[in-house]
Amino acid sequence: MFWQQVVNGIWLGAVYSLFALGYTLIFGILDILNLAHGAVFMWGAFFGLLTVTRVDMPIWIALPVAMLVSGGLGILLDRVAFKPLRERDAPHLAPIISSIGASTILISLAQAQFGAQVSRFPPDTFPTRIYNIGSVSVTLLQLVIFVIAIIMMVALRAFIQRSKTGKAMRAVAYSERISALLGIDVDRIIVGTFFVSSALAGAAGVLLGLAFSAISPFMGGPVELKGLTVIILGGLGNIEGAMVAGFLLAITEVLSVAYVSSDFRDAIAFTVLFIVLLVRPAGIFGQALVKKA
Protein backbone atom coordinates (compact mmCIF):
# COMPACT_ATOMS: atom_id res chain seq x y z
CA MET A 1 0.00 0.00 0.00
CA PHE A 2 2.83 2.41 0.82
CA TRP A 3 4.22 2.49 -2.72
CA GLN A 4 0.79 2.91 -4.25
CA GLN A 5 0.28 5.90 -1.95
CA VAL A 6 3.63 7.37 -2.99
CA VAL A 7 2.60 6.99 -6.63
CA ASN A 8 -0.76 8.63 -5.81
CA GLY A 9 1.12 11.49 -4.18
CA ILE A 10 3.53 12.02 -7.08
CA TRP A 11 0.64 11.99 -9.50
CA LEU A 12 -1.40 14.48 -7.47
CA GLY A 13 1.74 16.59 -7.08
CA ALA A 14 2.12 16.77 -10.85
CA VAL A 15 -1.47 18.01 -11.01
CA TYR A 16 -0.89 20.74 -8.43
CA SER A 17 2.41 21.81 -9.97
CA LEU A 18 0.97 21.97 -13.46
CA PHE A 19 -1.67 24.39 -12.27
CA ALA A 20 0.71 26.43 -10.13
CA LEU A 21 3.32 27.03 -12.89
CA GLY A 22 1.45 29.75 -14.76
CA TYR A 23 0.06 31.12 -11.54
CA THR A 24 3.49 31.73 -10.05
CA LEU A 25 4.90 33.05 -13.35
CA ILE A 26 2.58 36.07 -13.45
CA PHE A 27 3.27 36.78 -9.81
CA GLY A 28 7.02 36.48 -10.21
CA ILE A 29 7.26 38.78 -13.19
CA LEU A 30 4.40 41.21 -12.83
CA ASP A 31 3.74 41.16 -9.09
CA ILE A 32 0.08 40.45 -9.76
CA LEU A 33 -1.81 37.79 -7.86
CA ASN A 34 -4.03 36.76 -10.75
CA LEU A 35 -7.08 35.20 -9.11
CA ALA A 36 -8.65 34.70 -12.55
CA HIS A 37 -6.06 32.00 -13.29
CA GLY A 38 -8.52 29.31 -12.19
CA ALA A 39 -11.14 30.69 -14.59
CA VAL A 40 -8.70 30.61 -17.51
CA PHE A 41 -7.80 27.03 -16.48
CA MET A 42 -11.52 26.15 -16.63
CA TRP A 43 -11.97 27.78 -20.04
CA GLY A 44 -8.92 25.85 -21.27
CA ALA A 45 -10.67 22.61 -20.34
CA PHE A 46 -13.78 23.72 -22.23
CA PHE A 47 -11.76 24.81 -25.29
CA GLY A 48 -10.20 21.35 -25.35
CA LEU A 49 -13.56 19.67 -24.87
CA LEU A 50 -15.14 21.68 -27.70
CA THR A 51 -12.26 20.90 -30.04
CA VAL A 52 -12.74 17.19 -29.38
CA THR A 53 -16.54 17.04 -29.42
CA ARG A 54 -17.56 19.76 -31.91
CA VAL A 55 -14.64 19.82 -34.35
CA ASP A 56 -13.96 16.12 -33.92
CA MET A 57 -10.20 16.47 -33.43
CA PRO A 58 -8.00 14.04 -31.49
CA ILE A 59 -6.74 15.08 -28.07
CA TRP A 60 -3.15 15.74 -29.21
CA ILE A 61 -4.51 18.50 -31.48
CA ALA A 62 -7.04 19.70 -28.92
CA LEU A 63 -4.30 20.28 -26.33
CA PRO A 64 -2.25 22.82 -28.36
CA VAL A 65 -5.45 24.44 -29.67
CA ALA A 66 -6.70 24.90 -26.10
CA MET A 67 -3.29 26.32 -25.10
CA LEU A 68 -3.32 28.86 -27.94
CA VAL A 69 -6.89 29.99 -27.32
CA SER A 70 -6.33 30.17 -23.54
CA GLY A 71 -3.19 32.20 -24.20
CA GLY A 72 -5.29 34.60 -26.24
CA LEU A 73 -7.83 34.77 -23.44
CA GLY A 74 -4.97 35.64 -21.09
CA ILE A 75 -3.94 38.57 -23.29
CA LEU A 76 -7.55 39.77 -23.41
CA LEU A 77 -7.68 39.47 -19.63
CA ASP A 78 -4.61 41.68 -19.31
CA ARG A 79 -5.96 44.28 -21.74
CA VAL A 80 -9.32 44.52 -19.98
CA ALA A 81 -8.61 43.83 -16.32
CA PHE A 82 -4.99 44.84 -15.67
CA LYS A 83 -3.63 47.26 -18.28
CA PRO A 84 -6.00 50.15 -17.47
CA LEU A 85 -4.99 49.85 -13.81
CA ARG A 86 -1.29 49.75 -14.67
CA GLU A 87 -1.58 52.90 -16.76
CA ARG A 88 -3.25 54.70 -13.90
CA ASP A 89 -0.67 53.50 -11.36
CA ALA A 90 -3.47 51.98 -9.28
CA PRO A 91 -2.65 50.82 -5.73
CA HIS A 92 -1.36 47.28 -5.23
CA LEU A 93 -4.68 45.79 -4.16
CA ALA A 94 -6.60 46.98 -7.22
CA PRO A 95 -5.40 44.26 -9.66
CA ILE A 96 -6.37 41.53 -7.18
CA ILE A 97 -9.90 42.89 -6.94
CA SER A 98 -10.00 43.34 -10.70
CA SER A 99 -8.93 39.71 -11.19
CA ILE A 100 -11.68 38.51 -8.83
CA GLY A 101 -14.17 40.41 -10.98
CA ALA A 102 -12.74 38.96 -14.18
CA SER A 103 -12.91 35.50 -12.66
CA THR A 104 -16.59 35.92 -11.76
CA ILE A 105 -17.39 37.15 -15.27
CA LEU A 106 -15.54 34.27 -16.93
CA ILE A 107 -17.26 31.69 -14.70
CA SER A 108 -20.70 33.22 -15.31
CA LEU A 109 -20.10 33.24 -19.07
CA ALA A 110 -19.16 29.57 -18.95
CA GLN A 111 -22.25 28.78 -16.91
CA ALA A 112 -24.47 30.66 -19.36
CA GLN A 113 -22.87 28.82 -22.25
CA PHE A 114 -22.49 25.29 -20.91
CA GLY A 115 -24.86 25.15 -17.92
CA ALA A 116 -23.83 24.16 -14.43
CA GLN A 117 -23.61 20.46 -15.07
CA VAL A 118 -20.41 18.46 -15.16
CA SER A 119 -19.18 17.31 -18.57
CA ARG A 120 -16.41 14.95 -19.55
CA PHE A 121 -14.32 14.10 -22.58
CA PRO A 122 -15.82 11.20 -24.56
CA PRO A 123 -14.54 7.93 -23.04
CA ASP A 124 -12.52 7.02 -26.15
CA THR A 125 -10.59 10.34 -26.23
CA PHE A 126 -7.61 8.74 -24.53
CA PRO A 127 -6.95 4.99 -24.34
CA THR A 128 -7.62 3.47 -20.92
CA ARG A 129 -4.56 1.42 -20.15
CA ILE A 130 -3.59 0.34 -16.67
CA TYR A 131 -0.11 -0.92 -15.79
CA ASN A 132 0.40 -3.10 -12.75
CA ILE A 133 3.93 -3.14 -11.39
CA GLY A 134 3.92 -5.38 -8.36
CA SER A 135 1.08 -4.09 -6.22
CA VAL A 136 1.17 -0.63 -7.77
CA SER A 137 -1.28 0.42 -10.50
CA VAL A 138 -0.64 3.38 -12.78
CA THR A 139 -2.68 4.45 -15.77
CA LEU A 140 -1.14 5.51 -19.06
CA LEU A 141 -2.87 8.87 -18.69
CA GLN A 142 -1.26 9.48 -15.31
CA LEU A 143 2.17 8.72 -16.75
CA VAL A 144 1.58 11.01 -19.73
CA ILE A 145 0.38 13.89 -17.54
CA PHE A 146 3.35 13.44 -15.21
CA VAL A 147 5.78 13.54 -18.14
CA ILE A 148 4.07 16.57 -19.69
CA ALA A 149 4.19 18.41 -16.36
CA ILE A 150 7.94 17.76 -16.05
CA ILE A 151 8.58 18.79 -19.66
CA MET A 152 6.64 22.01 -19.21
CA MET A 153 8.54 22.90 -16.08
CA VAL A 154 11.93 22.28 -17.67
CA ALA A 155 10.92 24.12 -20.83
CA LEU A 156 9.55 27.08 -18.90
CA ARG A 157 12.72 27.30 -16.84
CA ALA A 158 14.95 27.11 -19.92
CA PHE A 159 12.80 29.73 -21.63
CA ILE A 160 13.13 32.16 -18.73
CA GLN A 161 16.85 31.52 -18.21
CA ARG A 162 18.11 31.26 -21.79
CA SER A 163 15.85 32.92 -24.33
CA LYS A 164 16.05 36.62 -25.10
CA THR A 165 12.38 37.10 -24.21
CA GLY A 166 12.97 35.21 -20.99
CA LYS A 167 15.85 37.48 -20.08
CA ALA A 168 13.69 40.49 -20.87
CA MET A 169 10.99 39.05 -18.62
CA ARG A 170 13.45 38.83 -15.76
CA ALA A 171 14.53 42.40 -16.41
CA VAL A 172 10.90 43.54 -16.28
CA ALA A 173 10.45 41.58 -13.06
CA TYR A 174 13.42 43.47 -11.61
CA SER A 175 12.20 46.89 -12.65
CA GLU A 176 9.76 47.92 -15.34
CA ARG A 177 11.21 51.42 -15.51
CA ILE A 178 14.84 50.38 -15.94
CA SER A 179 13.82 47.80 -18.55
CA ALA A 180 12.00 50.49 -20.49
CA LEU A 181 15.07 52.73 -20.31
CA LEU A 182 17.17 49.86 -21.65
CA GLY A 183 14.93 49.68 -24.68
CA ILE A 184 12.85 46.64 -23.70
CA ASP A 185 9.29 46.84 -24.97
CA VAL A 186 7.71 46.30 -21.55
CA ASP A 187 4.16 46.09 -22.87
CA ARG A 188 5.15 43.32 -25.27
CA ILE A 189 6.82 41.39 -22.44
CA ILE A 190 3.72 41.70 -20.28
CA VAL A 191 1.55 40.42 -23.12
CA GLY A 192 3.99 37.54 -23.59
CA THR A 193 3.92 36.67 -19.89
CA PHE A 194 0.12 36.57 -19.85
CA PHE A 195 0.13 34.44 -22.98
CA VAL A 196 2.57 31.86 -21.59
CA SER A 197 0.93 31.75 -18.17
CA SER A 198 -2.58 31.35 -19.59
CA ALA A 199 -1.47 28.76 -22.14
CA LEU A 200 -0.04 26.72 -19.25
CA ALA A 201 -3.35 27.14 -17.39
CA GLY A 202 -5.20 25.94 -20.50
CA ALA A 203 -2.96 22.88 -20.77
CA ALA A 204 -3.57 22.08 -17.11
CA GLY A 205 -7.32 22.45 -17.69
CA VAL A 206 -7.35 19.98 -20.58
CA LEU A 207 -5.14 17.43 -18.81
CA LEU A 208 -7.04 17.58 -15.52
CA GLY A 209 -10.32 17.51 -17.41
CA LEU A 210 -9.12 14.30 -19.01
CA ALA A 211 -7.83 12.84 -15.77
CA PHE A 212 -10.83 13.52 -13.55
CA SER A 213 -13.79 13.65 -15.96
CA ALA A 214 -15.11 16.66 -14.07
CA ILE A 215 -15.24 19.65 -16.39
CA SER A 216 -17.57 22.32 -15.07
CA PRO A 217 -17.63 26.13 -14.80
CA PHE A 218 -16.59 25.75 -11.16
CA MET A 219 -13.67 23.35 -11.57
CA GLY A 220 -11.17 26.17 -11.02
CA GLY A 221 -12.19 26.95 -7.43
CA PRO A 222 -10.75 24.04 -5.44
CA VAL A 223 -7.59 23.85 -7.59
CA GLU A 224 -7.04 27.57 -7.19
CA LEU A 225 -6.93 27.27 -3.40
CA LYS A 226 -4.43 24.41 -3.56
CA GLY A 227 -2.47 26.29 -6.23
CA LEU A 228 -2.24 29.36 -4.02
CA THR A 229 -0.93 27.20 -1.18
CA VAL A 230 1.63 25.69 -3.51
CA ILE A 231 2.99 29.00 -4.79
CA ILE A 232 3.21 30.44 -1.28
CA LEU A 233 4.95 27.31 -0.03
CA GLY A 234 7.36 27.34 -2.96
CA GLY A 235 8.17 31.02 -2.61
CA LEU A 236 6.01 33.42 -4.61
CA GLY A 237 7.18 33.67 -8.19
CA ASN A 238 9.59 30.75 -7.93
CA ILE A 239 9.12 28.14 -10.64
CA GLU A 240 11.07 25.23 -9.17
CA GLY A 241 9.68 26.19 -5.79
CA ALA A 242 6.13 25.76 -7.10
CA MET A 243 7.06 22.41 -8.60
CA VAL A 244 8.67 21.06 -5.44
CA ALA A 245 5.94 22.49 -3.21
CA GLY A 246 3.29 20.88 -5.40
CA PHE A 247 4.79 17.45 -4.77
CA LEU A 248 5.36 18.20 -1.10
CA LEU A 249 1.75 19.28 -0.50
CA ALA A 250 0.37 16.30 -2.43
CA ILE A 251 2.52 13.72 -0.65
CA THR A 252 1.68 15.23 2.73
CA GLU A 253 -2.00 15.00 1.89
CA VAL A 254 -1.83 11.45 0.63
CA LEU A 255 0.21 10.15 3.54
CA SER A 256 -2.03 11.84 6.10
CA VAL A 257 -5.01 10.08 4.52
CA ALA A 258 -3.15 6.78 4.51
CA TYR A 259 -1.72 6.82 8.01
CA VAL A 260 -3.79 9.30 10.00
CA SER A 261 -7.32 9.95 8.79
CA SER A 262 -8.92 11.55 5.78
CA ASP A 263 -10.72 13.85 8.24
CA PHE A 264 -7.42 15.56 8.99
CA ARG A 265 -6.05 15.71 5.45
CA ASP A 266 -6.35 19.45 4.90
CA ALA A 267 -5.62 20.23 8.54
CA ILE A 268 -2.29 18.41 8.32
CA ALA A 269 -1.42 19.88 4.92
CA PHE A 270 -2.05 23.41 6.13
CA THR A 271 -0.19 22.79 9.38
CA VAL A 272 2.84 21.89 7.26
CA LEU A 273 2.35 25.13 5.32
CA PHE A 274 2.16 27.05 8.58
CA ILE A 275 5.34 25.49 9.98
CA VAL A 276 7.28 26.08 6.76
CA LEU A 277 6.25 29.72 6.75
CA LEU A 278 7.29 30.09 10.41
CA VAL A 279 10.75 28.81 9.60
CA ARG A 280 11.07 30.34 6.15
CA PRO A 281 8.65 33.25 5.80
CA ALA A 282 9.43 33.63 2.09
CA GLY A 283 8.65 29.98 1.29
CA ILE A 284 10.99 27.05 0.77
CA PHE A 285 12.97 28.66 -2.03
CA GLY A 286 12.97 32.12 -0.61
CA GLN A 287 13.22 34.94 -3.05
CA ALA A 288 11.64 34.75 -6.48
CA LEU A 289 13.97 33.00 -8.90
CA VAL A 290 13.03 35.18 -11.82
CA LYS A 291 14.02 38.23 -9.84
CA LYS A 292 17.50 36.98 -8.98
CA ALA A 293 18.29 38.09 -12.54
Closest separation in Å from C-beta 123 to other proteins: 5
The binder of other proteins chosen from 262, 267, 270, 271 (CB under 8 A): 262
Could you say whether residue 186 binds other proteins (CB under 8 A)? no
Angle between helices 140-162 and 164-174 (to 10 degrees): 70
Q: How many CB atoms lie within 10 A of CB 226?
A: 19
Could you say whether residue 270 binds other proteins (CB under 8 A)? no
Could you say whether residue 102 binds other proteins (CB under 8 A)? no
**Burial profile 239-275: b = 16 or more Cβ within 10 angstroms, e = fewer:** bbbbbbbbbbbbbbbbbbbbeeeeeebeebbeebbee
Could you say whether residue 216 binds other proteins (CB under 8 A)? yes
Could you say whether residue 123 binds other proteins (CB under 8 A)? yes
Closest CA relative to residue 273, chosen from 243, 252, 256, 288: 252
E strands present in 42-200: 130-133, 136-139
Subset of residues 3 to 32 that bind other proteins, contact rule: CB under 8 A: 4-5, 8-9, 11-12, 15
The binder of other proteins chosen from 130, 151, 155, 178 (CB under 8 A): 130
Name the site residues for other proteins (rule: CB under 8 A). 1, 4-5, 8-9, 11-12, 15, 108, 111, 115-118, 120, 123, 130, 132, 137, 139, 208, 211-214, 216, 218-219, 221-222, 253-254, 257-258, 261-263, 265-266
